[in-house]
Chain A
Amino acid sequence: MALLELNNLKVHYPIRGGFFQRVVDHVKAVDGVSIQIEPGTTYGLVGESGCGKTTTGRAIIGLNKITDGTVAFDGQDLTRIAHKNQHPLRRDIQMIFQDPYSSLNSRKRVMDIIAEPLRNFEKLSPDEERRRVQNLLDRVGLNPEAAFKYPHEFSGGQRQRIGIARALTLNPKLIIADEPVSALDVSVQAQVLNFMKEIQKEFNLTYLFISHDLGIVRHMCDQIGIMYRGRLVEQGNTDDIYENPQHIYTKRLITAIPNIDPAQRQESARTRQKIMVSYQQDLKELMDAEGKPLALKTISPSHQVALP
C-alpha cells in the first residue's frame, strides 16, 4: 500500500477585490494532483517556478489549506482529521526547507532548534534530551559540541544538516524535501544528497523530493511527476521520463538541461530549437479550455501522460 496518496488535491487561493473585499476569483495553484508514493522510495516533483510544486508539498504537511481532494497518509485521510487529532500523524511527516539560512531560527542554539520537535511530542528530562540531540548531530556528521552553537557559526552545508537533523528527530516515515540543495555549492550539494540517500536506506525513509533541477532529480528519484500550471503533465519512473518523455513540456524541460559534453553543443542547441517550435505549436492542443493540462492517461503500467 502506498504510504502517501494524494487524490485530486486542490489548493485554490482566493483573490479579493471590489466592494467589501469580496472573493472575486481564485488562483488555482494546485488543481487536481494525484500522486502515490510507496514506502522507502523517492518521488520527485518537478516543474518551473509557479507550477504549484511547493504548494503541493506544503499542503501535505498542513502549511497550506487544502481546498478539495484527499491526502491519505498510511491509510488515514489527513484532510478529514480535526487539527488537534492530527498530532500523532504529524510526527511521521517532516520537512526539509530550501534555504538553510532562513529556515533556522538565528536566535536559538542548535540544541533548541533540533529539540523543538521533541519538546512538542515527548516529555524528556534535559539530560535525555541532550543525549538525543547529540546523537542526532553525530548521525548527520556534526560534532556534538555543535549543540551549543548558533546557526551563524556554520557553513551552508552544515546548516542544511542541522535542518535534516531536525527533520529526523521524531523518526518520521515521510520527509518532504523542498529544494533541499538548491542554495548549496556543487560539492556541498553532493555531500547532502549522499547523506539523504544514506539515511533513506538506514531508516527506510520515504521522500517527496521537490526540485527544479532535473539532474539532481534523476540522481535521487525512483518516480517522477512533472508539474505544469497546477497539474501533472507526465508521471512515471526515472527511465520513462528521461528516456521516453511523451509530453512536449517534459521534452522541453529535458532538452533545456545544459549538456555536459561540449562536443554536442551544436547538436543539443538544434534539438532545443526543434522542441521549442513544436512546443509553441502543440501546447494549445494539449491544454483544456482553462489553459490547464488535460487529465493523465496511462500509456504503460508505470507511465502516465496528459495527452488527448
Chain B
Amino acid sequence: MNTEPVLQIKDLTVSFRIKDEYYPAVDQLDLTINKNEVLAIVGESGCGKSALALSLTRLHDNKNTRIDGGLIFKGQDLNQLSPGQMNKIRGSEIGMIFQDPLTALNPLMTIGRQIEENLDYHTTLSKKEKTKRIYELLEHVNITNPQRVYNQYPHELSGGMRQRVMIAIAIACRPSLIIADEPTTALDVTIQSQILDLLKQLQAETEAGIVLITHDLGVVAEMADRVVVMYAGEIVEVASVMDLFNNPLHPYTRSLLASMPGANADQEQLHVIHGRVPSLQNIPRGSCRFSERIPWIPQTAHVQNPQLDEVGPGHWVRCSCYQHFHFEDEGKGIVMDGIAGAK
C-alpha cells in the first residue's frame, strides 16, 4: 500500500477555555494520515474526536480555543496560515462531510447553487463549465436525476440524498484529504450502506486520504484501513483494522467491543464500562486516563505518564495496564461482567 503522508499531525493540543482557563480536549496528539487510506477515529462522545476533526480544518471558535502544534499538510503548517489562506485550502484541498446534512446545507439555496459556490471560490471555470461539472458531480454520487436536483432545495430531498449532495460538495475540487465526521449516523442502515459504498468507491478513484470519525464499530469494520481509538483526549490504541478487531489490546478498546450488541449475539448481558467519561476539567492527566474506569486493576499495573508503545508492526498501545486486563472468562469469548469478575 502507498504510504505517502497527506497530513502529519505533530504534537497537537486543542484546548477549550472554561472560566479563563484552558483545558486540552486533545492532548499532544501525533498522527499521520496517508494517501489512499481510510483512517477511522473511534471513541465515545467527549473523547475529543470531533475537537480533533474541527481543528484539522481550523473551524474552531478562535476566542475560546487554542490550537498548539503542527498540522503539516502538503509541506505547509495549517496552523500557521492566515484565515484567508486557510479558506483557500478548506473546501478545495480538504473536503468535509458533516453528520447532519440538513444543518450543514443552506436551506435557502438550491443544491446547484451550493455546489457552484464551492467551484466559484476555488476554480476559474465559466458558468457553462460549472453547470456541466455540477451535473457530473451529482451523477458521480449516484443521484439519478441531476437536472432536477440542481434546482431543488435541501428540504425537498431525503436524508440519504442530502448526504450525497454533501459528498458532492466535498469532492467538487478533488481534495486530497476528506474529513467525514459521523457521515452516516443520521441515516437508516440501508442508506448507510449505500453511502459507505459510495465513499469507498470515490476513495478508490481519487486516492484521497479519508479521516472517518465515528462511534460505530460496525462502520469501522466495513470501511477503515487503520483505526485510532481515542479516550479522554488521547490516543489509546492505533492498529490496522484487522489487528484491532482480531487482537484488541487496550482495555478501552476491548470494553467498547464487548459492549456492542450483535458482536456476540447469544450473550444475556452486555459489557458495561464502569463509571463514565470524565468531563474536560476532570480528566486525570499525567497518569493512565482509563484507570478510573477499571478500578479493579491495581495502580501498580499502570505507568506514570503513559506513552504509546509499539507492540507489533503498526500496532501501538498506551500504558502497560492492558497486560493485566482480563475479562473474567476470556477463554469463552467476550465477556459479560468484568467488574464483578475482578472482585
Q: Which residues of A contact B (CB under 8 A)?
A: 48-49, 155, 157, 185-191, 193-194, 197, 212-216, 218-220, 252-253, 255-263, 265, 268-269, 272
Given A256-B193, A260-B221, are A218 and B268 neighbors across the interface (CB < 8 Å)?
no
How many angstroms between the C-alpha atoms of A183 and B263 in the bound complex? 20
Chain A residues near B197 (CB-CB < 8 A): 269, 272
Contact A186 B215 (CB under 8 A): yes
Decide yes or no whether B270 CB sits under 8 A from chain A: yes
Decide yes or no whether B242 CB sits under 8 A from chain A: yes
Contact B265 A257 (CB under 8 A): no
- Could you say which of B190, B245, B268, B271 contacts A197, with CB atoms under 8 Å apart? B268
Bin chain B's interface residue count: 35 or more
Chain A residues near B246 (CB-CB < 8 A): 263
Contact B188 A49 (CB under 8 A): yes
Fill in one digit per residue for B244-266: 1 if any A CB lies within 8 Å of its CB, else 0.
Answer: 01100000000110011111010
Given A49-B188, A269-B197, are A218 and B222 neighbors across the interface (CB < 8 Å)?
no
> Within the complex, what minimum Cβ distance (angstroms) separates B210 from chain A?
15
Q: Which residues of B contact A (CB under 8 A)?
A: 44-45, 159, 188-193, 196-197, 215-219, 221-222, 224, 241-242, 245-246, 255-256, 259-263, 265, 268-273, 276
How many angstroms between the C-alpha atoms of A67 and B286 in the bound complex? 63
How many angstroms between the C-alpha atoms of A215 and B260 in the bound complex? 8
Chain B residues near A218 (CB-CB < 8 A): 261-262, 265
| Central interface residue in A186, A214, A253, A268, by most chain B CB within 10 Å | A186
Contact B241 A262 (CB under 8 A): yes
Q: Which residue of B lies closest to A51 (CB)?
A: B188
How many angstroms between the C-alpha atoms of A223 and B45 in the bound complex? 32
Q: Which residue of B lies closest to A258 (CB)?
A: B218
Chain B residues near A194 (CB-CB < 8 A): 269-270, 272
- Could you say which of B216, B222, B270 contacts A193, with CB atoms under 8 Å apart? B270
- Could you say which of A49, A186, A260, A268 contacts B259, with CB atoms under 8 Å apart? A186
Contact A186 B256 (CB under 8 A): yes
Contact B188 A212 (CB under 8 A): yes
Contact A258 B222 (CB under 8 A): yes
CB-CB nearest 9 A-B residue pairs: A215-B262, A258-B218, A219-B261, A190-B270, A190-B259, A48-B188, A256-B193, A185-B44, A256-B189
> Within the complex, what minimum Cβ distance (angstroms) separates A235 from chain B?
19
Interchain Cβ contacts under 8 Å between A and B, 15 examples: A49-B188, A189-B259, A214-B189, A216-B262, A253-B190, A255-B193, A256-B193, A258-B193, A258-B221, A260-B217, A260-B221, A261-B221, A262-B224, A262-B242, A272-B193
